[in-house]
Amino acid sequence: MSKLVECVPNFSEGRRPDVINAITDEVKRVPGVTLLDVKPDADHNRVVVTFIGAPEACKKAAFNSCAKAAELIDMRTHHGAHPRIGATDVIPFIPVREVTMDECITLANELGKEIAEKLDIPVYLYEAAAKRPDRVKLPDVRKGQYEGLIEDIKKQERYPDYGKPEMNLKSGATVVGARQFLIAFNINLDTPDIKLAKKIANVIREARGGYRYVRAMGVMLEERHQTQVSINMVDYTGTPLFRVFETVKSEAARYGVNVVGSEIIGLTPLQALLDVAEFYLRLEGFERKQVFEENTEGM
């Protein structure tokens, strides 16, 4: 088994298929990289691209697709519902297999430097790669968006981590970083009372004193006549799924409300589910290599 990294760049183009294809073609072209998913959104005028591969190959694919976006997207005429500061808005690296977070931070630094030097685009580092605490969270880095940053970048506290403190008017700026795998985890309650769902979301979310690495909100499920605690688990190794699930269950029970089910939207690392099985079965001394399929890699 070899080193594997995931990379999920977001580009500020969700409407023109030819532009999106030209960008993703740059990813496909790099040997050792596999394009997993391309999700354009016309309202957001943005596309989320997911690929995996060896660390160096992923860095190359990220740079090449960023260069293509710089060529084909002009931020001076870009409009969309989603916050953004550049043609390539954000590039996170995520450790998948035999790669540490530190290695992803190094990747982010190398890529950021290369983008700044070769494409003349200012680069900010965020999440685990952040060099300042006020740049850990993406919304903080993106404050004022492309339009506001044209002036703000000249202020010292907004100086980019790589590149000159001067906006690239065509391409904007780019945020590069390293983070854990994000799991979209929703828990459904057998009550239509949205206030209750919001109350429970507040109990578990980090911003309100709940669990670290948990973002949550209450959502109405109109068709089911139920509500949902909609959760982003931004580091399942820090706060595991079972802990959040058990807390929601117990808080709901206090109001006589049941958890009717939960959903994982999109992908989850295997380890997050193994942790769940280990917890509930109270497994002693379990090792991942006891999973049969872990021994069949490449067969």
Instruction: Rank residues 34 and 64 by Cβ distance to a second copy and give the closer one.
Output: 34
CB atoms within 10 A of CB 266: 10
Which distant-in-sequence residues (6+ apart) come within 8 Å of 183 by Cβ?
232, 233, 236, 241, 264, 268, 269, 272
Which distant-in-sequence residues (6+ apart) come within 8 Å of 10 by Cβ?
46, 47, 48, 49, 84, 88, 89, 90, 91
For position 221 contacting a second copy by CB under 8 A, the verdict is no
270-281 and 241-253 are packed helices; what angle lies between their axes, rounded to 10 degrees?
Answer: 60
For position 253 contacting a second copy by CB under 8 A, the verdict is no
Retrieve residue 88's tokens.
Answer: 């390539």
Residue 82 annotated to the active site:
yes
Region binding a second copy by CB under 8 A among candidate stretches 68-76, 77-85, 114-122, 273-281? 273-281
For position 157 contacting a second copy by CB under 8 A, the verdict is no
For position 277 contacting a second copy by CB under 8 A, the verdict is yes
For position 100 contacting a second copy by CB under 8 A, the verdict is no
Of 44, 79, 82, 225, which residue is the catalytic one?
A: 82
Instruction: Rank residues 155 and 288 by Cβ distance to a second copy and give the closer one.
Output: 288
For position 95 contacting a second copy by CB under 8 A, the verdict is no
Retrieve residue 33's tokens.
Answer: 């990289």
d(CA 160, CA 148): 14
The minimum distance between CB 125 and a second copy, in angstroms, equals 25
Of 22, 35, 36, 72, the residue at the interface with a second copy (CB under 8 A) is 36
For position 223 contacting a second copy by CB under 8 A, the verdict is no
**Separation of CA 138 from chain center:** 10
d(CA 299, CA 295): 9
Instruction: Rank residues 207 and 281 by Cβ distance to a second copy and give the closer one.
Output: 281
Nearest partner of 92 among 127, 45, 123, judged by Cα: 127
Task: Give Dmax (Cα) for the chain.
Answer: 60
The minimum distance between CB 118 and a second copy, in angstroms, equals 28
For position 156 contacting a second copy by CB under 8 A, the verdict is no
Interface of this chain with a second copy, residues 169 to 198, rule: CB under 8 A: 181, 188
State the catalytic residues: 82
- List interacting residues with a second copy (CB under 8 A): 2, 4, 6, 34, 36, 52-53, 96-97, 181, 188, 241-242, 245, 259-264, 266-270, 273-274, 276-277, 280-286, 290-293, 295-299
